Amino acid sequence: MENKKNTNIRWQETKIKRKDREKLLKQKGVVLWFTGLSGSGKSTVASMLEGELHKEGYITYLLDGDNLRYGLNSDLGFTRLDRSENIRRVSEVAKLFVDAGVITITTFISPFKNDRNNVRKLLGEDFIEVYVDCPIEECEKRDPKGIYKRARSGNIKNFTGIDSPYEIPENPEMTIKTYEITKEQCVKEIMDYLGKNKIIGE
C-alpha cells in the first residue's frame, strides 16, 4: 500500500484480522450502497432494512449522507469536485466498517458513475450497489425536505436532477422501484437477496 504524498509512513499490520472479527460476530462485512435521487426513498428503506437486520441479530451501521455532512464532510459543498470527495471519504470509512465485520448501509445520492465505480474498485466483492429507482416527478411530489421547490426557484445550485445530472447505474446488484412497491416489499427484496447470496442466514 502506497501513499504518494507522504513517504514517512508505513502500513501497520495488526494481529486481529477481519476474519477473526467476522468469526466473533458470526457475520460477513459488506456494504449496501444505496444510490438514487433525493426523495427516492433511500433513507427510509435503508433505515427499515437496518431495523430488520438488527432484529435478526446482525451488527449494522448506517452511514447517512446528510448526517456525515455535519461532521466528517462538513467542509464540503455540492460542486462536482466536492461531491466526488464526499463519496471518496465515505468509501474509505465504509471499508473500515467492512474490515470490522459490520454490515454497512450507506445512503448517498452519489450521482456520478465514476465515483460509484471507484467505490466498487475499493471494496470489490464487498460492494452491493442498490439503485433506488424513482422518477424525478414522483420525487418532486414527495419532496420531504422541500428542496426541489427551492432548486426549481434557483435558490439551490448544483442540485441533482435539476441542474446537475444523475447518472443511472448500469449494472447494480439490485434495483428497487419505490414508486411501484411498498417500503416493506423493498426491504423484503433486499433481505431475500442477502439470504440468497449467503450474506445472512448461515
Mean pLDDT of 22-40: 95
Residue of 74, 84, 110, 153 with catalytic role: 110
Of all residues in the chain, what percent carry a pLDDT higher than 70?
97
Question: Given pLDDT bands bounded at 50, 70 and 90, which one contains residue 201?
Answer: confident
Instruction: Supply the CATH number for residue 56's domain.
Output: 3.40.50.300
The answer to whether 93 touches 63, Cβ cutoff 8 Å, is: yes
Question: Given pLDDT bands bounded at 50, 70 and 90, which one contains residue 194?
Answer: very high
- Examine residue 100 and state whether it is found in any structural domain, yes or no: yes
- Examine residue 11 and state whether it is found in any structural domain, yes or no: no
User: What stretches of the chain adopt beta strand conformation (E)?
Assistant: 30-35, 60-64, 103-107, 127-133, 174-177
Distances (CA, A) of 73 to 65, 66, 102, 116, 133: 9, 9, 22, 17, 26
- Examine residue 153 and state whether it is found in any structural domain, yes or no: no
Question: Given pLDDT bands bounded at 50, 70 and 90, which one contains residue 2?
Answer: low
Rg of the chain, C-alpha, whole Å: 18
Is 60 exceeded by the pLDDT of residue 27? yes
Question: Given pLDDT bands bounded at 50, 70 and 90, which one contains residue 1?
Answer: low
- Examine residue 65 and state whether it is found in any structural domain, yes or no: yes
Positions at the binding site for ATP: 36-43
Active site annotation includes 110: yes
**9 or 110: whose pLDDT is higher?**
110
- Examine residue 82 and state whether it is found in any structural domain, yes or no: yes
Question: Given pLDDT bands bounded at 50, 70 and 90, which one contains residue 67?
Answer: very high
Per the structure, the count of domains in the chain is: 1
The answer to whether 118 touches 94, Cβ cutoff 8 Å, is: no
Please list the residues that pair with 128 across neighbouring strands: 32
Distances (CA, A) of 122 to 48, 95, 125, 180: 27, 8, 9, 32
pLDDT (tens digit, 9 = 90+) per residue, 135-172? Answer: 999 999 988 778 888 888 888 888 898 888 999 999 99
Positions at the binding site: 36-43
Supply the range of the domain harboring residue 42.
28-135+168-196
Q: In the numeric block, which cell numbers belong to residue 19?
A: 476474519
pLDDT at position 4: 65
DSSP state of 10: -
Dist. CA 201–CA 176, nearest whole Å: 21
For the chain, the average pLDDT equals: 93
